Amino acid sequence: MSARRARLGVLVSGGGSNLQALLDATAQPDYPAEVACVLSNVPTAFALERARKAGVRAEVVDHKGFGSKADFEAAVLGVLADAGVEWVCLAGFMRLVSADFLKRFPGRVLNIHPSLLPAFPGLHAQKQALERGVKVAGCTVHYVDAGTDTGPIIAQAAVPVLPDDDEASLSARILAEEHRLYPLAVRLAVTGAVTLDGSRTKVDARVTGDAGALRSPGAPK
Ligand code: GRF
C-alpha cells in the first residue's frame, strides 16, 4: 500500500501481549499504521523486548525518576514527539494520563480494558467480574478521556464466564479477544472509519464489514 501510515506510540508497563498483536498487525503491508515507538515506565517490562525484536524503537521513561507527574509526562511527551508519534495506544500502561497529556493528542489516545465497560473500570476488572457473578465478560477499546476507563467506546467483544473460571482462566479467554479487537479498533480509528461523537462514537456505514466485526462473536447480525 502506498498510502502514508499513521505513526503509533504504544505505552506499556508489562508483558505486552497487546503490543505484540499491534506489532503483528502493523507488519502487514496493507495495515494503515506503524509502530513508531514503544515506551515503558517499567524498565524490566517484557514488552520492551518485543519491540526490540520487531526492530521498533523502545524507550524507558521510569516514573520513579521524576518528582511530579507533570515532569514524568513531559519526558514521555518529549520521546513521543521525537519519534513523530501521531496516535497513542495504551496497552497495559499502568499510569493514568492527565488532561494536559490528552490535549497534546486530541481524540488520538486509545486504551484497551479487559471488561465490558462501563462495567468494572479500574484495576482487576476480571476479578471484579467474577466476584459480581456476571455470565458474560469481555473487553473494550475506547478513546481515553480524563476519567478512568470512561471514554467513548469504539469496539467491544464478549466471552462467556464458565462455572469453573478463576481469574487466570477468564483473563486468558478475554485476552485472546483483546488481541483481535485492538488492531481492528486502531485500524478503524486511524482511517477515520470510527469518529468521536460527543460521549459516543460513530462507525462509517461504508465499513459494514468492520462494523460487524465490532460485535462479539455470536451476536445477532
Ligand atoms: C490487558 O488485559 C489490557 O486489557 C489491560 O492490561 C493488560 C495488558 O496485558 N489494560 P499485556 O501487557 O498487553 O499482555
Is the shortest distance between the CB of 178 and ligand 1 below 6 Å? Answer: yes
Each residue's pLDDT expressed in tens, for the chain with a length of 221 residues:
457 999 999 999 999 999 999 999 999 999 999 999 999 999 999 999 999 999 999 999 999 999 999 999 999 999 999 999 999 999 999 999 999 999 999 999 999 999 999 999 999 999 999 999 999 999 999 999 999 999 999 999 999 999 999 999 999 999 999 999 999 999 999 999 999 999 999 998 776 555 555 555 444 44
**What's the gap between Cα 141 and its chain centre?**
6
Residue 206: its pLDDT value, please? 74
Residue 204: its pLDDT value, please? 87
Q: Note if 113 is an active site residue.
A: yes
Å from CA of 101 to ligand 1 middle = 21
Q: Do domains 1-106 and 112-142+152-203 have the same CATH topology?
A: yes
Which residue reads 497487546 in cell numbers? Answer: 18
Å from CA of 91 to ligand 1 middle = 6
Atom number in ligand 1 closest to CA 112: 4
Q: Is 122 marked as a binding-site residue?
A: no
Residue 219: its pLDDT value, please? 45
pTM: 0.94
Domain 1-106: give its CATH superfamily: Formyl transferase, N-terminal domain (3.40.50.170)
Residue 101: its pLDDT value, please? 98
Contact in structure between 189 and 202 (CB atoms under 8 Å): no
CATH of 112-142+152-203, one of 3.30.565.10, 2.60.120.10, 3.40.50.170, 3.30.1330.20: 3.40.50.170
> What span, in angstroms and rounded, lies between the C-alpha atoms of 61 and 40?
6
Q: What is the DSSP string of 27-42?
A: TSTT-SEEEEEEEESS
What burial letters (b/e) apply to 61-87, b meaning 16+ CB within 10 Å?
bebeebeeeeebbebbbebbeebebbb
Contact in structure between 126 and 171 (CB atoms under 8 Å): yes
Q: Residue whose CA is closest, atom 8 of ligand 1?
A: 92
Contacts of 139 (CB under 8 A, 6+ apart): 112, 113, 114, 115, 116, 156, 157, 174, 177, 178, 181
Where is 209: in which H helix or E strand?
A: helix 208-213
Q: Where are the domains of the chain?
A: 1-106, 112-142+152-203
Residue 2: its pLDDT value, please? 56
